Amino acid sequence: MTPGPSSRRAMCAACLRAQPACICRWVRPVRAEAGLLILQHPLETANAKNSARLLHLCVAGSTLAIGETFEPAALDALLHAGGRTPVLLYPETPGVATVRPDSLAPPGRLLIVVLDATWRKSRKMLHLNPALQRLPRLALVSMPASHYRIRKAHAPHQLSSLEAGAHALGQVGGSAAGVAPLLDAFEGFVQQQADYVPARAAHPRGA
């Protein structure tokens, strides 16, 4: 049976979530010197606990592209948009050289590339897209514990996409204060998701 119009949930056109779960209230506009490209694995798009779209909505001029394997020419265009130099935000990996924020080109010429995926899926995205493998890798330094308490089996050193992107923009731009609104937005987002679970338990469907 095809659901009627009344049974379809109204969706927010900005955050792409159902209206009751809209996260647009947490958007805190930020203008960063460095560019930001978020490559999101398709399995993350419908995950209510995913923070990448909020990061995209907050950072002016950022780009979010969804896919696991990208057509080479299209990916090349994304990586070099505006004549910027892309650098892949990725944890230190044995045998793979990484660059430090203070050794990079001026932030106005940089594009930070964030892979929004689980660790296993991010490795697969690297494997399927050789252009990503060739990028210089940026590993964050001196990170505080993550506040991503809504995802199961999440260790304190594992940052959400929003936290990682915010800290990367702050470190290459030399100003943590400039991206503080992103972390404030994340706190509100996390609390909304944490409150949602008890609410569903208290009012199960059909009750």
Distance of CA 68 to the CA centre of its chain: 15
Ranking 43-52, 98-107, 117-126, 127-136 by mean pLDDT, the lowest is 98-107
Which whole-number Å values give the CA distances from 147 to 95, 160, 188, 189, in the listed order?
29, 8, 11, 11
pLDDT greater than 90 at residue 71: yes
pLDDT digits (tens, 9 = 90+) for 123-172: 999 999 999 999 999 988 776 656 565 555 454 457 889 999 999 999 89
Domains annotated on the chain, with CATH = 28-144+155-186 (3.40.1280)
**Averaged pLDDT of the chain:** 85
Q: How far apart are CA 204 and CA 190, in angstroms?
A: 21
pLDDT greater than 60 at residue 5: no
Q: Is there a contact between 12 and 24 (Cβ–Cβ < 8 Å)? A: yes
pLDDT score of 1: 45
Strand, helix or coil at 96? strand
pLDDT greater than 80 at residue 6: no
pLDDT greater than 80 at residue 115: yes
Q: Is there a contact between 182 and 28 (Cβ–Cβ < 8 Å)? A: yes
pLDDT band at 197 (very low <50, low <70, confident <90, very high): low
Strand, helix or coil at 87? strand
Q: How far apart are CA 192 and CA 200, in angstroms?
A: 12
pLDDT score of 152: 57
Strand, helix or coil at 89? strand
